[in-house]
């Protein structure tokens, strides 16, 4: 059987390799590749080819803090996320840096692509070894603050086709349902910044497919629904805003959810349908389970794993897969072995919770996610019994 993993893991020869959190507030992460090979992270789009076991640190950064300070800011435009990568240079044969320019249109001159390095002396531009559909590739790379840019003729930015994503978030209350809808370039640092902002206000993301066709920076799009909805504003501009800036979105007030809602985005000029999705009551329930925070009616000091400790001890049926997911993230080696040494499933869970006295909220979030992946039906049942959203 293939090992379980998530889109935030790096996938390579051994299967999924977990990305560790160094500092969530500063967006710093670490991944330890155990053997040579090619490793790809679906969430960030980063791809490393390594020649031996190596540890790599990755930070998510904002272009506005760096590109705006260079004299080349009007000659080059952002074409992908900005990362702060630290690794032993000799251990990395190649790095694939993601970009969001759509090359399938045949309108883009790939010779205009550069990789920007931000160093002490300023911004240094490097010509990539090659440019692929979703990546600019550096071979035998040096590391710093790095990201993909394009040399651009002023006034022609709006003619560059890009891949984009739609992000939908909802907030539930007993009286009404509110959605936030974003249309942004396919940049993982923007997506993460929006996720972090929305979760502060207890909005939960609903995963839906992105637009299929390429769109254009500076173009305007109209948001509409299949029934009477309050949408403010109804018009969205697709633009690049650095992760540190406020992003544009439409707020959609539904009232009673009832049946499903069909949402559409059309090009303002051509009226062409560029994106469509169906939001169902079941989407709300599933998305709420992805929320690593407590339920809206539960005091903020009481986390899900604390609230349901007794039930989790009694009803978790398989502890070892749970421990495997927590090993290295929440549990040290000696803690991992101490829990496994207990005789019964209940004793193992009691031992696990006894170690949890020192857990902060981030650790409890990791436990919640691991429980949700290993015991999804149990977590769904506990969630609904505590007042979670059910269909209808």
Fold classification of 163-289 (topology level): Immunoglobulin-like (2.60.40)
Q: How far, in whole angstroms, is CA 78 from its chain's centroid?
A: 19
Q: Would you give the DSSP letter of residue 327? A: B
What is the full per-residue pLDDT of the chain (392 aa) written as tens digits? 445 667 889 999 989 998 988 887 788 999 999 999 999 999 999 999 999 999 999 999 999 888 777 777 778 889 999 999 999 889 999 999 999 999 876 778 889 999 999 988 788 999 999 999 999 999 999 998 999 999 886 656 567 889 999 999 988 665 678 899 999 999 999 999 998 888 877 788 888 999 999 999 889 999 998 877 889 999 999 999 988 788 999 999 887 777 788 999 999 999 999 999 998 877 877 766 665 543 444 444 567 888 888 889 889 988 999 999 999 888 888 889 999 999 899 989 988 988 877 787 778 888 998 898 899 888 887 876 655 433 32
Q: Alpha-carbon distance 369 to 374, whole Å? A: 9
Phi/psi for 60 (5° steps) reads -95, 125
Question: pLDDT at position 263, please?
Answer: 94
Distance CA 356, CA 350 (A): 10
Q: What is the dihedral of CA 274, 160, 43, 139, to 10 degrees?
A: 150
CB atoms within 10 A of CB 286: 14
Which residue has tokens 């109209």? 222
Our measurement of the distance from residue 87's CA atom to the centroid of its chain's CA atoms, rounded to an integer in Å, reads 22
- Rounded Cα–Cα distance for residues 236 and 253 (Å): 16
CATH 3.30.70 fits 10-153, yes or no: no
Q: Whose structure tokens read 């919640």? A: 368
In angstroms, rounded to a whole number, what is the distance separating the alpha carbons of residues 165 and 157?
A: 19
pLDDT at 357: 72
**For the chain, which residues make up each domain, given as ranges?**
10-153, 163-289, 304-385
Structure-block tokens of residue 135: 């990546």
Q: At 335, which helix (H) or strand (E)?
A: helix 333-340
Question: From the CA atom positions of the chain, what is the Rg in Å?
Answer: 23
β-strand partners of 256: none
What's the distance, CA 134 to chain centroid? Answer: 17
Q: Phi then psi for 351, rounded to 5 degrees?
A: -65, -40
- Report which of 337, 346, 168, 328 is spatially closest to residue 262, judged by C-alpha positions: 168
Peptide bond into 2 cis (omega under 30): no
For the chain, helix (H) and strand (E) counts, in that order, are 9, 25
Pick the CATH number of 304-385 from 3.20.20.70, 3.30.1490.100, 3.40.1710.10, 1.10.533.10: 1.10.533.10
HEC sequence for 283-324: HHHHHHHCCCCCCCCCCCCCCHHHHCHHHHHHHCCCHHHHHH
Q: Which pLDDT does position 175 carry in this prediction?
A: 66
How far, in Å, CA of 349 to CA of 339, rounded?
8
d(CA 166, CA 275): 9
Residues 154 and 144: their CA atoms lie apart, in Å, by 28
């Amino acid at each position: 059987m293939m090992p379980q993993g998530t889109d935030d893991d790096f996938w390579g020869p051994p299967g999924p390799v977990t990305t560790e959190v160094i500092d969530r507030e500063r967006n710093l992460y670490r991944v330890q590749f155990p053997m040579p090979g090619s490793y790809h992270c679906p969430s960030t789009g980063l791809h490393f080819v390594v020649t031996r076991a190596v540890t790599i640190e990755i930070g998510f950064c904002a272009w506005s803090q760096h590109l705006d300070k260079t004299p080349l800011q009007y000659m080059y435009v952002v074409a992908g996320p900005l990362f702060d990568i630290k690794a032993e240079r000799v251990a990395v044969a190649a790095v694939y840096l993601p970009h969001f320019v759509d090359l399938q249109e045949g309108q883009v001159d790939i010779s205009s692509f550069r990789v920007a390095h931000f160093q002490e002396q300023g911004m240094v531009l490097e010509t990539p070894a090659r440019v692929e559909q979703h990546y600019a590739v550096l071979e035998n790379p040096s590391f710093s603050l790095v990201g993909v840019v394009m040399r651009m003729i002023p006034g022609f930015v709006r003619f560059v086709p890009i891949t984009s994503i739609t992000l939908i978030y909802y907030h539930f209350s007993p009286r009404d349902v509110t959605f936030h809808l974003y249309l942004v370039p396919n940049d993982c640092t923007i997506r993460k910044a929006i996720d972090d902002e929305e979760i502060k206000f207890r909005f939960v993301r609903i995963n839906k497919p992105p637009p299929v066709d390429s769109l254009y920076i500076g173009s305007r799009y109209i948001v509409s629904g299949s029934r009477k909805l309050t949408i403010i504003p109804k018009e969205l501009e697709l633009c690049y805003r650095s992760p540190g800036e406020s992003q544009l979105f439409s707020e959609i007030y539904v009232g009673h959810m009832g049946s499903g809602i069909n949402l559409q985005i059309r090009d303002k000029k051509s009226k062409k349908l560029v994106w469509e999705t169906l939001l169902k009551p079941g989407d709300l329930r599933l998305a709420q389970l992805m929320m690593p925070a407590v339920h809206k009616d539960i005091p903020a000091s009481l986390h899900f794993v604390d609230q349901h400790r007794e039930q989790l001890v009694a009803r978790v049926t398989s502890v070892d897969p749970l421990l495997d997911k927590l090993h290295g993230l929440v549990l040290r080696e000696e803690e991992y072995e101490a829990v496994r040494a207990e005789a019964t499933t209940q004793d193992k869970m009691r031992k696990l919770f006894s170690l949890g006295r020192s857990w902060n909220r981030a650790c409890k979030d990791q436990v919640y996610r691991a429980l949700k992946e290993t015991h999804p039906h149990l977590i769904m049942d506990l969630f609904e019994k505590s007042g979670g959203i059910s269909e209808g």
